[in-house]
Chain A
Amino acid sequence: MSVKDVFIVIDNILSPLGKTTAENFGQLKNNISGVKLHNDESLSSTPFYASLFDKDEILIADGSEFTKFEQLLIASISVALQNTAIDIKDKKTILIISSTKGNISLLETEANSPALENRIAMSTSAKLVAGHFGFQNQPVTISNACISGVMALLTGMRLLRTGEYENAVICGADVISKFIVSGFQSFQALSNDICKPFDKARTGLNLGEGAATVVLSTNKRFEGNIKIKGGAVSNDANHISGPSRTGEELAYAIKKAMKDADLGSNNIDFISAHGTATIYNDEMEANAIGLAGLQDVPLNSLKGYYGHTLGAAGLIESVISIHSLKESLLIATPGFEHLGVTSPVNVCASLTHINAGNFLKTASGFGGCNAAVVIGK
């Protein structure tokens, strides 16, 4: 089967650090983090570190009919589409949405009823967002824990490769609510400081809010653009809330993604890791990177800038990495000082000039899921 090239047309990041990719990349270049100490009773009875939008931040004008989750999707997609020639209303264009918890915060503010249950459903949000922009096809919605964003990119690439669609607008978003904060607290997974990915002193993750959009196309007029070249997903088949002991399964996904991209480990110039800064994730991920022969490849984790943005994380981190390729600048890993994983990895601690052709993006999550994609020139 001949594989069509899938080009990245345009992208957006909407986060507490900025409303455009350029604003976000600029903040990261200046080593500015969105993670701060929050003292908000509506989210947690104890103070916690997270990257959150200001409560009074206006995401879209006249947004009252949309939930915050939907406003994030709409705002990010709107900015991404401002300067593209992609025809949203074309039958060849598909919308793909990724999220872990969507509208779940509504459970905290509304009384439960069948109408509320329907309002919470991600398919309701997907339909509203698709209708807002005038997409013709039924949107695709992915909810696969913390790999949702990477899986959305992979799903978009595959749908375009089959030729059924020419363009895919892929957007991921998550909103941080008491539901989510309390759950991670119950797992004792939250760091009591800005998180420290791959560091000896890491104690857990920070949560974050945000959205990101990537527009893909197989149209030849985008030839010369950066491409999404391959990807794969695997399952640990080990534990629903703890990662693999060996990292073999993530390593398998990484190797399959490189093979799908027709590239070897020597072609990968940097890695955008999941790097949540929990003890077990980073240990497993370092093992996997070693097993895939990538232990010397420069690697970063952006969780110290954005926190873990759940269903948006894979997209936000991919977009930053796409701009690292364009600007030859590998973003730092805030919080990292001393390597604290058994299998050594080459963590990029400060902003570094890099001449890169391809990068690997990885993600792992509850349910034993792992995903990897390769993006490059």
Chain B
Amino acid sequence: MIAENYITNTCSIFNDTVHKNDLNAFENKGADLSAFLLSAYQHFQFHYPKFYKMDNLSKLGWLASEILLKDDFSKYNYQPEEIGVVLANSNSSLDNDLKYSDTLKDIPSPSVFVYTLPNIVIGEICIRNNFKGEHAFFIQESFNAGFIAQQVNYLLDNNILQACICGWVDVLEQHYKATLFLVEKKKEEKSLLFSAENMERIFNKA
């Protein structure tokens, strides 16, 4: 029989608010997205100079992953290859594609071009944490929790991974939403069963 997997932490960033697990962790109403992301970065006292050069999709995903992992997750419990990242969104990297497209009239910038791929946010999270395991970026019309759960369960149940960050990170201009789940094989007091129903409930609450 296949062992069950558990959601050990969650983080949602949506509607000017950061939620860590069930708690409202930060709020900054009325700022535009770039200012909001910077204010969250400052609020949590992160120090990571690479943050400033990221596009908004990577900033949003990177922030959500930092907040997701910051309290009680120790990556040293796992080998780098045992931790993976499986993400999805509906707008791919279009937010930054529009910005890159604008530079075509002038001089195209390699530092903007590199963010014209949705999986760069996965690369940023992997670089930050030295995660070297399986990863994938899927494009979905809307959050398909069942599909993500199936992909992540395959990776965990076949011992390809021992822990996985998964969820949704989407940005298009001022519209944005991130909901990340940390999925592990161990059950802790606050753990939730890793299921499409629980993912959807948390995603929709945000």
Chain A residues in contact with chain B, CB under 8 A? 1, 100-102, 104, 107-108, 112, 117, 120-124, 126-127, 138, 140-145, 151, 155, 158-159, 162, 164, 178-179, 182-183, 185-187, 232-241, 249, 252, 256, 365-369
Contact = CB atoms under 8 A, between A and B. Distances in A.
Contacts of B135: 144, 233, 235, 369
Given A102-B92, A179-B104, A252-B132, A367 B139 contact: no
B141 A127 contact: yes
Given A164-B150, A234-B81, 18 more contacts: A108-B101, A117-B91, A117-B172, A121-B90, A121-B91, A126-B139, A142-B137, A158-B151, A158-B154, A159-B150, A178-B104, A179-B116, A183-B108, A186-B108, A235-B135, A237-B129, A366-B114, A368-B126
Interface in B80-102: 80-81, 85, 90-92, 94, 97-98, 100-101
B16 interface: no
B80 A237 contact: yes
A232 B159 CA distance: 12
A86 B119 CA distance: 32
Q: Most A CB atoms within 10 A — which of B98, B127, B138, B139?
A: B139
B interface majority secondary structure? mixed
B9 to A, nearest CB: 21
Contacts of A252: 81, 132
B117 interface: yes
Interface residues of B, number: 51
A151 B136 contact: yes
Nearest to B131: A237
B77 interface: no
Contacts of A182: 104, 108, 113
Which of B100, B138, B160 has the most A CB atoms < 10 Å from its CB? Answer: B138
Given A100-B117, A233-B135, A369 B110 contact: no
25 contacts: A104-B97, A117-B94, A123-B141, A138-B141, A138-B144, A140-B138, A140-B147, A143-B117, A144-B136, A145-B119, A151-B136, A179-B101, A182-B113, A186-B109, A233-B135, A234-B81, A234-B133, A237-B80, A237-B131, A237-B132, A240-B120, A249-B132, A256-B160, A367-B122, A369-B119
B87 to A, nearest CB: 10
Interface in B127-169: 127, 129-141, 144, 147, 150-151, 154, 157-158, 160
Contacts, number: 147
Contacts of A241: 110, 114
Interface string B40-52: 0000000000000
B124 interface: yes
A234 B129 contact: no
A209 B90 CA distance: 24
Contacts of B126: 235-237, 368
B133 A367 contact: no
Contact of B134 (A162, A164, A234): A234
A249 B80 CA distance: 10
Contact of A240 (B91, B123, B130, B134): B123
Contacts of A145: 117, 119-120
A108 B98 CA distance: 10
Nearest to A158: B154
B132 A235 contact: yes
B91 to A, nearest CB: 6
Contacts of A236: 126, 132
Contacts of B116: 101, 104, 179, 183
Nearest to B2: A1
Given A158-B154, A179-B100, A187-B113, A235 B122 contact: yes
A83 to B, nearest CB: 30
A208 B100 CA distance: 21
Nearest to A152: B136
A124 B90 CA distance: 10
Contacts of A151: 136
B133 to A, nearest CB: 7
Contact of B94 (A121, A155, A365): A121
Q: Give the interface centre of B113, B119, B126, B160 by most chain A CB atoms within 10 Å.
A: B119
Given A1-B157, A235-B122, A368 B133 contact: no
Nearest to B87: A144
A183 B119 contact: no
Contacts of B131: 235, 237
A208 to B, nearest CB: 18
A155 B123 contact: no
Contacts of A232: 134, 160
Given A107-B98, A162-B154, A249-B132, A141 B113 contact: no
Nearest to A237: B126
Contact of B108 (A107, A122, A142, A185): A185
B84 to A, nearest CB: 8
B140 A239 contact: no
A144 B119 contact: yes
Nearest to B121: A367
A191 B10 CA distance: 45
Contact of B133 (A102, A187, A235, A238): A235
A122 B97 contact: no
